[in-house]
């Protein structure tokens, strides 16, 4: 069974979307980043297989782009 996690990120006002997306993509285990409208500006997808890896990704997002976002939602795990 494949697992992936999704992080929903609300950016600060006037955040450079492309630069933030590139920073997100540079984090290990993030495979895709989507720039969206609405409540969240970014959705980052990870192909993590366990909670430890998902927690690592959340910590990496917080430490690398913390100045660029207001809120990082907990990840959602999707199984197929």
Which CATH number does the domain housing residue 63 bear? Answer: 3.30.70.920
pLDDT of residue 14: 80
> Domain total for the chain?
1
- CB contact at 8 A, 46 and 54: yes
Buried b / exposed e over 14-33, threshold 16 CB at 10 Å, is ebeeeebbebbeebebbeeb
- Containing structural domain, residue 55: 3-79
Task: Write the CA distances from 53 to 5, 32, 47, 56, 78, integer angstroms.
Answer: 10, 16, 9, 5, 14
Mean pLDDT by 10 residues, the chain (80 residues): 76 83 91 81 83 84 74 60
Distance CA 44, CA 55 (A): 14
């Amino acid at each position: 069974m494949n697992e992936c996690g999704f992080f929903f990120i609300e950016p600060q006002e006037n955040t450079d979307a492309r630069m933030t997306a590139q920073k997100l993509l540079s984090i290990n285990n993030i495979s895709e980043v989507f720039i969206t409208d609405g409540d969240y500006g970014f959705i980052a997808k990870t192909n993590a297989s366990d909670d430890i890896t998902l927690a690592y990704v959340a910590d990496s997002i917080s430490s690398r782009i913390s100045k660029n976002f207001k809120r990082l939602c907990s990840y959602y795990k999707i199984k197929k």
